Amino acid sequence: MGSVHWPILRTCAGRALAPLIVDDQRTWRGMDLLIGASGLAAEIRRRSRSATVGLLLPTGGAFPMAALAVWMAGRAVVPLNYLLKRDELQFVIENCETDLVLSAGPLLAHLGYEPRASSLLKLDELDLGGASSLRALGADPCWPAPTSSDDLAALLYTSGTSGRPKGVMLTHGNISANIRQCVEFAGFNARDVVLGVLPQFHSFGFTVLTMLPLTIGARCVFTARFVPSRIIRALREHRPTALIAIPSMFSALLSVKDGGPADFSSLRFIVSGGEPLSQTVASAFEDRFGARIHEGYGLTETSPVTNWSLPGDAVSGSVGRALPGVEQRIIDLEGASLTSGSDKFALTEDYHGFYQQEAQMRREALFPPFTELASFIVSGSDCEKTRAVADELAAALKTDANVGEDMLFGPAPASIERLNGRYRFQLMLKMAVLDELTNAVKQALLR
């Protein structure tokens, strides 16, 4: 299965003069990424002894360049969320046990403080495109460290809705597999242009909007801040083929007065994720811009994409079909598989085949326990009654399992809104204690 970075390094070498990334500050050619990563990798080896390196960087070309350097140096990437509160960010830095954080002076000035770390390196103060980096690539080359698919590639920290942020361990095999799944499923190719508006510390921004296009040689267009008018200008200037965002961003684009259908005509993928897309926003967007938004689904723990609704998939509100290699089944509380005609509440488990017993790896690495994932599907022949039962279950879970609003997704229509004449509604939860959740469900079923 190999590493995440070797295919990207080959892309950079093969397209040395091609513009692979355009961000708010500059254009990055393949050689810029390759030379910069090589020089920075040598610097990482000199300064750091830890197995992880933190990246506290704004969305742009510096992030993947730094990630490549970290992998070349044989370390794991820890994307740091600069939107966290100061104490939460400090917790993540200490929890991942890194002795080096890579950042940029302008971002630190915006934050108004510098996080505590054994070493804090500001990339804007280094000569990563000059003679020192050329020497690192030539006379003193920093060859990439040997890497296997089982090696840890990244620690992506969740938002901490059930306590402190938790580091999700993703191997090179995990991320590489999800990239291949998305490329195969959606048909991405080197002619695509991806407009990246999600932060790169976000699992989707990390994998799909950054590592995927660089792997196949597609161009990335990044903007560090989501400003609706700026996004419309980027659509006009760069004519991207893929726009992936969250519902609130699509809603905000409706506020741009001079935006029109022509601005979105180059897009073959318009995908919403992160939370349910309301029918109001979806309809208004299609009426205004003549473009339909499709939905997708995934979790940080799944690298992240599991489902994707492609153009031509006609089910409104669906997150689409499972990606190649993703097995999804519905089980009851005892673990037995359920048929589509069952009247029972059920759990959904996703099996991908490329996880390397991550719960055990977390325990061995002294990281917080793996967050349990659960999806409840309520099925019935009457749409309104089924929805009412789903609402009651959601209320019961909040009461009996101490589930907060930020931990509960739904009830929303499941991937197939109607199956064999039955309506289905889904509730998705992220829980740390499965026994507590199971007991709450049993209590709810007895009411």
Q: How many CB atoms lie within 10 A of CB 290?
A: 12
Q: Is 251 left (phi over 0), alpha (psi -120 to 50) or beta?
A: alpha
- Residue 168 CA to residue 299 CA, distance in Å, equals 10
Rounded to the nearest angstrom, the gap between the alpha carbon of residue 322 and the centroid of all alpha carbons in its chain is 16
DSSP letters spanning 269-291? EEEE-SSPPPHHHHHHHHHHHS-
Dihedral of CA 377/379/383/385: which sign? negative
pLDDT tens per residue, range 353-405: 222 233 443 343 333 333 344 556 677 777 778 778 878 877 777 766 556 55
Q: pTM value?
A: 0.76
pLDDT, one tens digit per residue, over 269-318 is 999 998 889 999 999 999 999 999 999 999 888 889 999 999 988 677 78
Alpha carbon distance, N-terminus to C-terminus of the chain: 49
Instruction: Show the low-confidence residues of the chain (pLDDT under 70).
Output: 1, 129-142, 160-163, 314, 331-335, 338-377, 399-422, 424, 426-438, 440-447
Residue 391: what pLDDT? 80
The architecture CATH gives domain 5-9+24-174? 3-Layer(aba) Sandwich (3.40)
> What are the start-end ranges of the E strands in 62-151?
76-79, 101-103, 120-122
343 burial via Cβ count (<10 Å: 0-12, 13-18, 19+): exposed
Nearest to 72 by CA among 137, 157, 169: 137
- pLDDT of amino acid 178: 94
The pair of three-digit structure tokens given for residue 305, joined into one six-digit string = 């994409």
Q: Say what the pLDDT of residue 119 is.
A: 97
Compute CA distances 246 → 23, 294, 355, whole Å. Answer: 20, 11, 27
The CATH 3.30.70 domain(s) of the chain lie at 329-447
pLDDT for the residue 200: 98
pLDDT at 361: 35
Instruction: State the span(s) of the chain assigned CATH 3.40.50.12780.
Output: 5-9+24-174
pLDDT for position 115: 97
Closest by CA to 26, choosing from 128, 114, 135, is 128
Q: Fold for domain 329-447?
A: Alpha-Beta Plaits (3.30.70)
